[in-house]
Structure 1
Amino acid sequence: MIKKLASLIIIILLFIGCKDGVKTEDKAEANEKVSSNFNSLLENYYEDGLKLNPLSATAAGDNRYNDQFPNTLSEAYRDSLENYYTSYKDSLSNYKDGNLTETEQMSKAILKWETDINLETLKFRNSEFFPIDQMWSVNLSMGQLASGMSSQPFKTVEDYKNWEKRVDGYLIWMNSVEEKLREGMKEAYVLPKSLIVKVIPQLEAMTEKDLNKHLFYTPITNFPEGFSEEEKTNLKKSYTSMIEDRVIPAYQKLHDFVKNEYLPAGRTTSGIAAIPNGEDYYKHQIKLYTTTDMTAPEIHQLGLDEVARISSEMEKVKEQIGFKGDLKSFFNYVRENKELMPYSKPEDIIANFNAIHEKMKPQLDKLFDVTPKTQFEVRRTEAFRENSASAEYNQGSLDGTRPGIFYVPIPDAPTYNIYSDESLFLHEAIPGHHYQISLTQESTVLPNFRKTLWYSGYGEGWALYSESLGKELGLYTDPYQYFGMLGAEMHRAVRLVVDTGLHSKGWTREQAIQYSMENEAESEAGITSEIERYMANPGQALSYKIGQLKIIELRERAKKELGDKFDIRQYHNQVLETGCVPLELLENKIDSWIAESK
């Protein structure tokens, strides 16, 4: 009886186990189906986004939409954007975290953040009423594309024709710019006069009558091999007509309006609080660019604290060099030191950046065991925009065939000061933007929509953090270059003070310039350009320091918690493999990694 009972119990247990096994298999199969559907959602989000933003597709090396330029200022376009973000946000409620992998859960959190912040942006009318400025607007990007040296390809006859079609769409947008500027004038949305005067010569440069000097004619002067004479003749004819009959008149019309009507209406105030809903808009911009809930007063105080800390470090370098005088005098000394302006030709400055790269190469594998395959180049910024441009990085294509490009503005080579070039290279090139962006694009794990995302708090935070790695990479052996790194960090700390000063404390442009002059070694012309940059795009300048401090904080936390188990290369892998993410999500990831590593 006992044996029979035991056998019966075993049979029952086996039956239950089989049922559980079926349940487990069913659950796994269900989760796999959810996962497949979720990844299809992410891919559709990415593909629909490319259709709405064809310039982004071109930048990524996706050539399907190279002939398109939607009128982003139209009501129809704004409606389509709102529908796009709303529908995908609503779709997320169909997916429970428990049915998703860790990577998918991160993607879900990012997509939720992405849709929320963009829907919030659409509530404000700033992008509608400020379609152009001296630094950030799409007309400047189109100038880069027109040169034939950027992401718009000019390799085939079809490429040349695609650009003509894209320009037609762009000119419709150009016409809408004037309409929106006029509407903004009526509703008290106008740029400061100090910014408008910088836009006027940029527009005027595109009214050049000599075709061989016109930027939009550059692809005709640089035909690739293999074009027949008939093809060249036809393209020359059509591009001549495009520029003379459509491009120049459109730019001339907008130029005349901006100069004769918009400039006189420009405001004399500097901060965004002066426009309707300006205070709320600045709160939104802080959230957008820092990906945090920090307030303007908190950020202003953090900036003041950082300025004080970095000043004390600068004092040490001043003493090391043996300079007699206060720190402000030392700033002027560094700005005006002719020994730090050794080059007479732009190509020599470009060569110096390449030499910095060669110097640090042997040390890179001590900090990074994963490096990008995408190549990169250092180039001079195009002449039409370099007077208002900062050094910048343009990403390579997703497939790695187009290199990442570090652009350096060199408006006057003999006065170019090299004291901060090592930190600048670390930030814009390696291991800054080039590593972060290229590794994200080359990832085989991340969904496509995350490969092209940009969150300034993370992206610029990583680039500024990269500057602090100079000594570990064999740089900053020259005290001036180390001072240059401190100067670059001070520059970002000053930004916390002046950006919040301008947009939440009522500072004038001149007050912000004066504060910067007193606390950093940049030239007055450079500082003026920077302050006007912050005026054009409130909050963007906050992202660098906020992100850098978070990445440093997380590194120190991991080092303390893991002790001998801490590996700097693994920490960098953890930070970089996520792609661009809001800082809170990055912190959650690093905390989980620390716990698992223990």
Structure 2
Amino acid sequence: MKNSIYKIIAIAVITFSCQNSSENQVDTVEPELAFDKMLENYHEERLQLFPLDATFAGDTRYNHILPNNLTERFKLKLTDFYTTYLEALESYEKSSLSEDQRMSYEVLKWECEMNLKDLNFPMDLMPIDQMWSMNLMFGQLASGSSAQPFNTFEDYENWLKRVDQYIAWGDSAIANMKKGIEQNVVLPKPLIKKVIPQIESLAKGPYNEHLFYSPAKNFPSEFSEDQKTALSESYKNMVEGQIIPLYSRMAEFFNNQYLEAGRETTGIDALPFGKEYYQHQIKKYTTTDMTADEVFQLGKDEVARISKEMEKVKEQVGFKGDLKSFFNHVRTKPELMPFTEPEEVIANFNAIHEKMKPQLSQLFDKTPKTPFQVKRTEAFREASASAEYNQGSKDGSRPGTFYVPIPDVEAYNMYSDESLFLHEAIPGHHYQISLQQENENLPEFRRTLWYSAYGEGWALYSESLGKELGLYTDPYQYFGMLGAEMHRAIRLVVDAGMHSQGWTREQAIQYSLENEAESEESIEREIERYMANPGQALSYKVGQLKIIELRKKAQEAMGEKFDIKQFHNIVLETGCIPLKLLEEKVEAYINN
């Protein structure tokens, strides 16, 4: 295996410093500096392999690059990259590192090991799905209102260069899915049916109404007429000559070959490597060693516990009937569907923000500088999308954005909007991600790092803070919080059920309908989401339960000395880390 030049430099610095130390030298400084330099090099080299991460962080250096991550050449690069840095870590004595550096050591070790294991599974044979894949993210960027900037003439040219490489990615995706058909590694049919309309919507003109032409409709005012004319022509040619033909090829393949080849089975365990892959996914997304059976049982226990809390709310509002009937009551209650225009939904979320603002300082003394906004999800993906948060840029020039899908405004039910805002926005993802990105004490690679168990666990924990923040005064909104928590508990059951217990898509949908108040359409989208990315849905509840456990432990151990603001600082200041490392950090805080 070829060694990276960065590894050679890092080890050489350490070796030199040790060989040349003397009584008059402080021989602990150089290894620490070398370690920090190694982390810096890791970050810089990684950004070139994952330039979209740089774009989303507001680093514009690689905005013209999109490596084809579906090729064997790219996979070999990744293998070399992670192996090199894993070997580099072994050259450092942990005892010579500072406490912060030892945390970075453990985080980087986890990163390298987990990503190398990822490469053992042929998931590149299923590169497109209805929820998570590159084509959906790229469509967001193409809108001109996401992370890809369109402020200068160079920005517009960078996007054209990136589109050139995206075309190659799209053709590789088709080629890989054809290989997947040969090896019986294909998506379930229901997911394929959801992908087809997404693709077909982008396989037609006219060019000036196409999503990918959007930036050419919003040129900065300082552009000259010659610049506008040249770019308009380039973007017209890009849409008509590259994008529409690519999506036409994709649509033809999906309709004429892939749909017929789609599998009838639901869970990933139906694939030859599926059981091993699902256990890997559990570890990746929960950062624990839980088994599928343990996840399944935890989910059932949590469903039973939360159901008892829901019964109390049902009695409080005076509903006569069983809990399942109450779910239908909540789903269809006209007062909970008051909106006639999408703008009213957005305004309601902004009103929630205003209502909780006065109480935020009681729980947090560190808040992000990055601005925040609520936006409607783009039309091309709205029908299959869930509410989500996209981080702002590290320098704060691009705000963090809470995207809300509103496919049918008159059917939009607001009963869980308060808990949804706490989760996706403030103090959930926006606080956690922005504070992490803004923390200059963290090495660069950790400022944009994401562990779902920590990040989603924090967001779900944030939902439990509603009463402390002056929300949930309406019993239906409190029921919405319980519903959101129930939703995450159900995820443990249905995700493990489908991918390890032989459950079908239909069984999972039925279980959800019987235990939560979400609409059938929404539940169907969610179940198919779990089918597309096994294990991801487990992270929320596992992470939330760990943070709640650590807060309770700190309160009991510290008594009157416990400070909720300081506890939140302790949890948030390191950014995303595996749960075991978070637990060790909180225990050190308690014992100080």
User: Into which bin does the TM-score normalised by the smaller protein fall?
Assistant: over 0.9
1:48 alignment counterpart: 45
Aligned partner of 2:495 among 496, 499, 502: 499
Give runs of ≥4 in structure 1 deviating > 4 Å: 22-25
Residue type of the alignment partner of 1:382:
E
| CA–CA distance in structure 2, aligned partners of residues 200 and 346 of structure 1 | 26
1:75 alignment counterpart: 72
Q: After superposition, what is the alpha-carbon deviation per residue over 1:433-476, rounded to whole angstroms, capped at 9, x for unaligned?
A: 00000000000210000011100000000000000000000000
Q: Is the 8 A contact 2:208 2:236 kept in 1?
A: no
| CA–CA distance in structure 1, aligned partners of residues 119 and 55 of structure 2 | 24
Q: After superposition, what is the alpha-carbon deviation per residue over 1:175-230, rounded to whole angstroms, capped at 9, x for unaligned?
A: 00111000011111000000000000111111121122200000111111101111
Structure 1 residue 559 corresponds to structure 2 residue 555: yes
TM-score by length of 1: 0.95
2:229 alignment counterpart: 233
| CA–CA distance in structure 1, aligned partners of residues 271 and 392 of structure 2 | 37
SS at match of 1:197: helix
* 1:169-568 → structure 2 map (5 Å cutoff): 169-568=165-564
| CA–CA distance in structure 1, aligned partners of residues 209 and 486 of structure 2 | 40
1:98 alignment counterpart: 95
Report the CA distance between 1:341 and its aligned residue.
0.5
| CA–CA distance in structure 2, aligned partners of residues 208 and 371 of structure 1 | 45
Aligned-pair identity in percent equals: 65
Residue type of the alignment partner of 1:160:
Y
| CA–CA distance in structure 2, aligned partners of residues 572 and 317 of structure 1 | 29
1:110 alignment counterpart: 107
Structure 1 residue 86 corresponds to structure 2 residue 89: no
Q: Which moved more, 1:211-220 or 1:104-113?
A: 211-220
Residue type of the alignment partner of 1:166:
R
| CA–CA distance in structure 2, aligned partners of residues 587 and 25 of structure 1 | 40
Q: Is the 8 A contact 2:43 2:444 kept in 1?
A: yes
| CA–CA distance in structure 2, aligned partners of residues 583 and 122 of structure 1 | 23
SS at match of 2:27: helix
Q: After superposition, what is the alpha-carbon deviation per residue over 1:148-199, rounded to whole angstroms, capped at 9, x for unaligned?
A: 0000000111110000000000000000011100001111100000000000
| CA–CA distance in structure 2, aligned partners of residues 305 and 146 of structure 1 | 44
1:17 alignment counterpart: none
1:5 alignment counterpart: none
SS at match of 1:188: coil
| CA–CA distance in structure 2, aligned partners of residues 569 and 95 of structure 1 | 35
| CA–CA distance in structure 2, aligned partners of residues 24 and 308 of structure 1 | 66
Report the CA distance between 1:263 and its aligned residue.
0.3
Q: After superposition, what is the alpha-carbon deviation per residue over 1:264-299, rounded to whole angstroms, capped at 9, x for unaligned?
A: 000000000011110000000000000000011111
Q: After superposition, what is the alpha-carbon deviation per residue over 1:476-508, rounded to whole angstroms, capped at 9, x for unaligned?
A: 000000000000000000000000000000100
SS at match of 1:372: coil
Q: Aligned in 2, Cα 1:24/1:202: closer, same or farther, shift over 3 Å?
A: farther
Q: Aligned in 2, Cα 1:23/1:567: closer, same or farther, shift over 3 Å?
A: farther
Report the CA distance between 1:78 and its aligned residue.
0.3
| CA–CA distance in structure 1, aligned partners of residues 268 and 160 of structure 2 | 37
2:5 alignment counterpart: none
Q: Aligned in 2, Cα 1:217/1:325: closer, same or farther, shift over 3 Å?
A: same
| CA–CA distance in structure 2, aligned partners of residues 182 and 207 of structure 1 | 20
Q: After superposition, what is the alpha-carbon deviation per residue over 1:81-130, rounded to whole angstroms, capped at 9, x for unaligned?
A: 0000000000001111111110000000000000000000001111x111
| CA–CA distance in structure 2, aligned partners of residues 360 and 401 of structure 1 | 25
Structure 1 residue 136 corresponds to structure 2 residue 125: no
| CA–CA distance in structure 1, aligned partners of residues 237 and 431 of structure 2 | 42
| CA–CA distance in structure 2, aligned partners of residues 436 and 69 of structure 1 | 28
Residue type of the alignment partner of 1:61:
G
Q: Who wins on radius of gyration, i.e. which is larger?
A: 1
How many residue pairs match? The answer is: 572
Report the CA distance between 1:24 and its aligned residue.
8.5
Unaligned runs of 5+ in 2: 1-20
| CA–CA distance in structure 2, aligned partners of residues 214 and 399 of structure 1 | 31
Aligned partner of 2:31 among 23, 29, 34: 34
1:58 alignment counterpart: 55
| CA–CA distance in structure 1, aligned partners of residues 559 and 97 of structure 2 | 32
Residue type of the alignment partner of 2:99:
E
Q: Aligned in 2, Cα 1:536/1:24: closer, same or farther, shift over 3 Å?
A: farther
| CA–CA distance in structure 2, aligned partners of residues 412 and 272 of structure 1 | 32
Aligned partner of 2:148 among 144, 149, 152: 152
Residue type of the alignment partner of 1:294:
M
Residue type of the alignment partner of 1:52:
L
Q: After superposition, what is the alpha-carbon deviation per residue over 1:500-546, rounded to whole angstroms, capped at 9, x for unaligned?
A: 00000010000000000000000000000000000000000000000
SS at match of 2:441: coil
Structure 1 residue 125 corresponds to structure 2 residue 122: yes
Q: After superposition, what is the alpha-carbon deviation per residue over 1:296-322, rounded to whole angstroms, capped at 9, x for unaligned?
A: 111111101100000000000000000
Report the CA distance between 1:353 and its aligned residue.
0.2
SS at match of 1:378: strand
SS at match of 1:200: helix
SS at match of 1:384: helix
Q: After superposition, what is the alpha-carbon deviation per residue over 1:207-265, rounded to whole angstroms, capped at 9, x for unaligned?
A: 12112220000011111110111111111111111110111001101110011100000
Residue type of the alignment partner of 2:429:
H
